[in-house]
Amino acid sequence: MGDMWSPAEYLSYADERERPFWDLVARVHAPHARHVVDLGCGPGTATARLLGHWPQATVLGIDSSPAMLQQAGARAVPGRLRFELADMALWRPVPGSLDVVLSNAALHWVPGHAELLGQWLAGLRPGGVLAFQVPGNFSAPSHVLLRELVASPRWRSSLSGAGDAPGAYSPAEYHRWLTGLGAVAEVWETTYYHALTGPDPVAHWLQGSALRPYLSLLQPDDAAELLDSYAAAVREAYPPGPDGTTLFPFRRVFVVANVGRAG
């Protein structure tokens, strides 16, 4: 499959999507971090702001989407911030070389990502931190309705090449695995109630994320039809309130794993 990502669609809810990034970073205790990696950095907007958060650090953003990386590359700062096109499933840090490995809203796109956690922990120095956030809303109406729609007779055959739907593990599984790997893990979840405006905002939100693998397989007319059908389905599940605001509950799972530090 080609590049399915659209930075413009993704950034249409930039503030809402960036909030969990900072809620995650707030729990990372690494005041003197020098080497930071952001896996699945996307358009690099949040990655670039890490320079202010860790003034002594050099930051590397990694992403497998050329379109996202093109946006991110414009934010590069010689000697401080660079970006690399790479698949995080294949990325292997030099053991003991990093202070912080971050990943926000990206790991769920990597099937079987639990198997990567050990190698990423091994990339950390003593006192280093692996921190990631993944959506925990795969059983919410937004995602159930999408799965039903793409499995319907109208779409099943044309969308069969979309690959694995994104998915994440439970908070308890992440905790168990990371503890088993010798880290001190902190895991929590938050449900954000995004107050969205405008017509069909939930469909518009997913147009920048979970719908990408499907929309990118279709010709423009078919893509528009799929989006219309999806918008009609979620309109009932997420009706606007009297003031026109649509509340979109979005559960997210946060994991912070400390290496070589007492809990």
85 sits near ligand SAM (criterion: CB under 6 A)? no
Q: What are the strands, taking DSSP E only, across 157-214?
A: 184-196
Q: Which stretch binds ligand SAM (CB under 6 A): 28-36, 58-66, 242-250, 254-262?
A: 58-66
17 sits near ligand SAM (criterion: CB under 6 A)? yes
135 sits near ligand SAM (criterion: CB under 6 A)? no
Radius of gyration of the chain (CA): 19
65 contacts 41 by C-beta, under 8 angstroms: no
The nearer residue to ligand SAM, 105 or 129, going by C-beta atoms, is 105
Q: Which stretch binds ligand SAM (CB under 6 A): 24-32, 40-48, 172-180, 225-233?
A: 40-48
Measured distance CA(87)–CA(3) in Å, rounded: 13
| Block residue for tokens 């698949």 | 87
Q: Which x/- pattern over 197-236 shows residues binding ligand SAM (rule: CB under 6 A)?
A: ------------x---------------------------
Shortest approach of ligand SAM to residue 169 CB, angstroms?
A: 16
The nearer residue to ligand SAM, 104 or 258, going by C-beta atoms, is 104
Question: How many C-beta neighbours within 10 Å does residue 222 have?
Answer: 16
In the three-class reduction of DSSP (H, G, I as helix; E, B as strand; rest coil), residue 104 is classed as strand
In the three-class reduction of DSSP (H, G, I as helix; E, B as strand; rest coil), residue 242 is classed as coil
DSSP notation for 134-149? EE--TTSHHHHHHHHH
Shortest approach of ligand SAM to residue 209 CB, angstroms?
A: 5
51 sits near ligand SAM (criterion: CB under 6 A)? no
Sign of CA dihedral 96, 172, 164, 60: negative
Shortest approach of ligand SAM to residue 182 CB, angstroms?
A: 25
The nearer residue to ligand SAM, 65 or 137, going by C-beta atoms, is 65
DSSP notation for 114-134? GGGHHHHHHTEEEEEEEEEEE
Helix or strand (DSSP H, E) at 201: helix 201-207
Shortest approach of ligand SAM to residue 120 CB, angstroms?
A: 13
120 sits near ligand SAM (criterion: CB under 6 A)? no
Shortest approach of ligand SAM to residue 10 CB, angstroms?
A: 6
Q: Which two tokens stand for residue 159?
A: 């969308």
Residue ranges in contact with ligand SAM by CB under 6 A: 5, 17, 21, 40-42, 46, 62-65, 68, 87-89, 104-106, 109-110, 209
